[in-house]
Structure formats: structure tokens, C-alpha cells
């Protein structure tokens, strides 16, 4: 249950943000999770309600945006989606790639009143 | 319909903790206290390794120990018999320790006269890797019965540690544990990782680990 500790960390961050910005009620929390991040969105969703209980996020809904893992081939320069191609360049078949995105884990924004 | 607004936060989830960890590291540097974060899965021999390491060090280095667990104080009791300063931290169900909890622990322990504080983190190879505690250096223990494939399964943990102790090497003849393959896998995650083969049970390799700690503590104080 790796996700629950991380959710508590998110609650802390949002609480201090809400305090600074005089937000009293939050409708939706939007997270961005990279495809290669170690977070499992499904677990985050399942645990969310319990994790935010008693905080400013209580009663809010969670929305998760997945960020694709894209890579650039070091041999030919082609940019391609990493996961479905198993790390192999779709242009030249090379395996030397530079990761461009996919490890992100951000609190993007909140929808609030 | 009520009016609503969208506020952009755009903050990395670990940013807050990372900031606190950096602050703690700076404070520790000013004091000249070296904090070692020791991680592993449950049952790898962390406490036994720690006891042996303390015995190798305590004549020359003033040591404090923080035992982090979800519950109980069995580890603190064991370490307490070694005549070093020890505190038991309860994470209250959490699977890891963050920088703020570490700071509170250090405060509770009192570190005015200490050269070295060893934090025995919660037994877990996942979450402790993601939360920087503010430690000066990180070490982990992987024991032979756990298998040589662990760097493949927990790459983040292996990528953030400075030292890997491969423990329980006295039982190597009874397990299909390929030491070379394990080291190669660990180095793939982290080319700079230092690997020490040890057995906390018979004491093999403990001196090498203690020497590494001594050198690191001295360097930490020199940079003060």
C-alpha cells in the first residue's frame, strides 16, 4: 500500500496551498501521473476517499491525467511512445533511447469554490 | 449553479518533503552530525547488522540510533543493550519515514554530543526510496534468501543508495543466489553503488562497513 503514504503527502501539500489561498471547499483534485511513475492510478482512486477524510479535500473527487512515456532515439532522433513499443525505436529499431517524459508525478490543480 | 474556479498548483508531489529534507541535511552538516538511513525489507538482518556495526564503531564514534517501525519496540530494546542512545519511532501505520518525522525523531533523541545517527527505517523496499529523510548517506541491506533478482524488482531503491550490503553470505551454499549477477543488476541501477558482502551472524564484512562509515563521518565533519 505504497499509494496511501503518498496520498497523505498530497493532502498535506493541498492543505497548506488551500490555507494560503483561502480555499474552503474543493470539488476536484487533479493529479498528473507519468506512465512510468511507480504510482498505480487504480489504487490511488480506491484509497482516495479514506485518505482525505477529515481534511480540506474531504468530499472532493479525484481526477487523474496520465502522462505518456515518450522517448527519443539516440541513433536516429525519432520520438516515439516507449511503453507500447517496449523501448525499441519505431523508425530504426535502436534501443538507445533518451526518456523525455513519463516519470512525472504532479499535483496539477484544484477545482474549488 | 455555484461559481467555481480552477487554481493551478503544479507542484511535484515530493517537492515539500524534498525541501524539508534538504533543510535538515544542512542543519546536520552545521552540527557535524552524520545521519545514515539504513533500509531493507523485513527480515534482512538490519538490527543484527546494526548491533555488530555499533560494536565495531562505538569506541571511536559517538552513536545514536533511531528505530522506525509501524509498531512495537523490540528493535529499540535490542539496540539499547549496546549502551548507545536509542529512540523508538512509531510511524502510526505509515510504511516509511519522511523528513519531518526524522527531524522530530532527532529532536527526541537529542544529538548534541553525537557524531553519527543511524536511522533504521521501516522494513520496506518501496516507499522509503521515495521519501528523502534528510540523511547524509543511504545504505541498504539485501539478504541472500531474498534472491538476486531484487535490483530488477525495486530499481528505485537500488538507485538511491550509496552502499549495498549483501547480508547472510554464510548461507550462500544453500541458496541459488548469484552474487555476480546481483551486483551487475545493482550497478545497472546505480553505477556508483558500493557493494559489501557480509554476514552479521559471523561478523564477516562488518569491519568494511564500519570503516566506510568512519570515513564518511570524518568527511562530513571536515566539510562542516
Could you tell me the residue range of the domain that residue A29 belongs to?
A: 2-112
Render each residue's pLDDT in chain B as its tens digit; 224 residues: 678 889 999 888 888 899 999 999 999 999 999 999 999 999 999 999 999 999 999 999 999 999 998 877 888 888 888 889 999 998 877 778 889 999 999 999 998 889 999 999 998 898 888 889 999 999 999 999 999 999 998 988 999 999 999 999 999 999 999 999 999 999 988 999 999 999 999 999 999 999 999 999 999 999 87
CB contact under 8 A, B16 and A27: no
Q: Environment class of residue A54 by beta-carbon count within 10 Å: exposed (0-12), middle (13-18) or buried (19+)?
A: exposed
Shortest CA distance to B7 belongs to which of A106, A53, A18? A18
In chain B the domains, ranked by start, together with CATH numbers, are 28-214 (3.40.50.300)
DSSP annotation of B105 reads H
Predicted confidence at residue B133, as pLDDT, reads 96
Residue B3 CA neighbour count, 13 Å, CB half: 0
Residue B49: count other Cβ atoms within 10 Å of its Cβ.
Answer: 26
Q: Measuring CA to CA, how many Å separate A12 from each of A15, A63, A110?
A: 5, 18, 14
What is chain A's length?
A: 113
Is B136:B212 a contact under the CB 8 Å cutoff? no
pLDDT of residue B92: 74
Per-residue pLDDT of chain A (113 residues; tens, 9 = 90+): 578 888 998 999 999 999 999 998 999 999 999 998 878 899 999 999 999 999 999 999 999 999 999 999 999 999 999 989 988 999 999 888 888 998 889 999 999 98
Taking CB atoms and an 8 Å cutoff, what residues of chain B touch A17? 7, 9, 11
Calculate the CA A8 to chain-centre distance: 15
- CA dist., res. B178 & res. B132, Å (int): 30
d(CA B152, CA B181): 11
Distance from CA of B63 to the nearest CA of A (A): 30
- Spatial neighbors of B218 by CB under 8 A, at least 6 apart, are none
Q: Domain holding A66: CATH number? A: 3.30.2320.80
- The structural domain count of chain A equals 1
**What is the pLDDT, as a whole number, of residue B66?**
94
Q: Which of A9, A20, A30, A65 best tests the B interface by mutation, with the highest count of B CBs <10 A?
A: A9
Rounded CA-CA distance A14/A110 in Å is 9
Q: Are B36 and B163 in contact (CB under 8 A)?
A: no
Cβ atoms within 10 Å, residue B5: 10
Q: Give pLDDT, residue B1.
A: 65
Which chain B residues are Cβ-neighbours of A105 within 8 angstroms?
Answer: 12-14
Choose the closest CB to A17 out of B9, B17, B130: B9
Tell me whether residues B13 and A111 touch, CB distance under 8 A: no
What SS3 state is found at B67?
A: strand
Are A108 and B9 within 8 A, CB to CB? Answer: yes
At residue A1, the pLDDT reads 56
State the ipTM, two decimals: 0.80
Option in B5, B11, B131 nearest A107 (CB): B11
Cβ neighbours of residue A62 closer than 8 Å, sequence gap 6 or more: A28, A29, A31, A44, A45, A48
| Interface contact A105-B12, CB threshold 8 A | yes
Q: A23 contacts in B (CB within 8 Å)?
A: 7
Question: Longest C-alpha distance within chain B, in Å?
Answer: 72
Strands A26-34 vs A105-112: parallel, antiparallel or unpaired: antiparallel
User: What residues in B contact A16, CB-CB < 8 Å?
Assistant: 16
**Predicted local confidence at residue A86, as pLDDT:** 85
Contacts of A40 in chain B (CB under 8 A): none
Chain A: closest CA distance from residue B95 (Å): 7
Which residues of A are less than 8 Å from B94 in CB distance? 5, 8
Find the angle CA(B174)-CA(B181)-CA(A74) to the nearest 5 degrees.
Answer: 160
**Which residue numbers of A have CB closer than 8 Å to B's CBs?**
1-2, 4-6, 8-10, 12-14, 16-17, 21, 23, 27, 31, 38, 104-113
Q: How far apart are CA B102 and CA B132, in angstroms?
A: 10
The alpha carbon dihedral of B81, B82, B87, B89 has a sign of: negative
B interface with A, Cβ–Cβ below 8 Å = 2-17, 94-96, 98, 126-127, 130-131, 156
CA-to-CA distance for B97 and B31, rounded, in angstroms?
22
Sheet with A26-34, side-by-side order of all strands:
A61-67, A26-34, A105-112, B5-12
The answer for residues whose C-beta is within 8 angstroms of residue A37's C-beta and 6 or more apart is: A102, A103, A104, A105
Q: Residue A12 in contact with residue A107, Cβ under 8 Å?
A: no
Q: At B42, phi and psi to the nearest 5?
A: -65, 140
Query: pLDDT tens digits, residue range B181-202?
Result: 999 999 988 999 999 999 999 9
Could B11 and A13 be called an inter-chain contact, meaning their C-beta atoms sit closer than 8 Å?
A: yes
Amino acid at each position: 500500500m505504497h499509494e496511501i503514504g503518498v496520498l497523505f503527502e498530497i493532502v498535506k501539500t493541498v492543505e497548506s496551498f488551500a490555507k494560503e489561498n483561502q480555499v474552503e471547499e474543493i470539488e476536484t483534485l487533479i493529479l498528473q501521473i507519468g506512465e512510468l511513475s511507480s504510482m498505480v492510478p487504480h489504487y490511488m482512486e480506491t484509497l482516495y476517499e479514506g485518505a482525505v477524510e477529515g481534511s480540506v479535500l474531504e468530499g472532493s473527487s479525484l481526477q487523474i491525467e496520465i502522462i505518456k512515456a515518450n522517448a527519443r532515439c539516440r541513433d536516429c532522433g525519432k520520438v516515439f511512445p516507449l511503453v507500447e513499443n517496449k523501448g525499441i525505436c519505431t523508425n530504426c529499431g535502436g534501443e538507445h533511447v533518451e526518456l523525455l517524459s513519463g516519470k512525472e508525478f504532479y499535483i496539477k490543480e484544484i477545482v474549488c469554490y | 449553479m455555484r461559481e467555481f474556479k480552477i487554481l493551478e498548483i503544479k507542484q511535484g508531489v515530493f517537492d515539500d518533503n524534498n525541501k524539508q529534507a534538504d533543510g535538515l541535511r544542512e542543519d546536520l552538516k552545521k552540527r557535524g552530525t552524520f545521519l545514515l538511513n539504513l533500509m531493507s525489507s523485513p527480515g534482512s538482518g538490519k538490527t543484527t547488522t546494526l548491533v555488530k556495526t555499533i560494536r565495531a564503531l562505538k569506541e571511536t564514534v559517538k552513536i545514536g540510533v533511531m528505530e522506525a517501525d509501524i509498531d512495537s519496540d523490540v528493535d529499540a530494546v535490542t539496540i539499547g543493550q549496546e549502551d548507545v542512545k536509542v529512540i523508538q519511532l512509531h510511524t502510526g501505520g505509515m510504511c516509511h519515514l519522511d523528513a519531518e518525522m526524522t527531524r522530530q525523531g532527532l529532536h527526541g533523541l537529542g544529538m548534541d554530543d553525537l557524531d553519527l545517527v543511524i536511522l533504521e527505517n521501516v522494513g520496506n523496499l518501496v516507499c522509503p526510496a521515495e521519501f528523502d529523510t534528510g540523511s547524509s548517506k543511504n545504505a541498504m541491506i539485501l539478504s541472500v534468501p531474498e534472491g538476486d533478482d531484487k535490483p530488477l524488482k525495486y530499481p528505485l531503491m537500488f538507485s538511491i543508495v550509496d552502499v549495498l550490503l549483501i547480508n547472510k553470505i554464510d548461507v550462500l551454499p544453500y541458496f541459488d543466489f548469484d552474487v555476480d549477477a546481483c551486483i551487475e543488476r545493482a550497478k545497472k541501477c546505480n553505477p556508483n553503488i558500493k557493494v559489501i558482502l557480509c554476514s552479521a551472524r559471523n561478523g564477516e564484512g562488518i569491519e568494511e562497513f564500519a570503516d566506510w562509515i568512519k570515513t564518511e563521518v570524518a568527511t562530513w565533519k571536515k566539510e562542516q
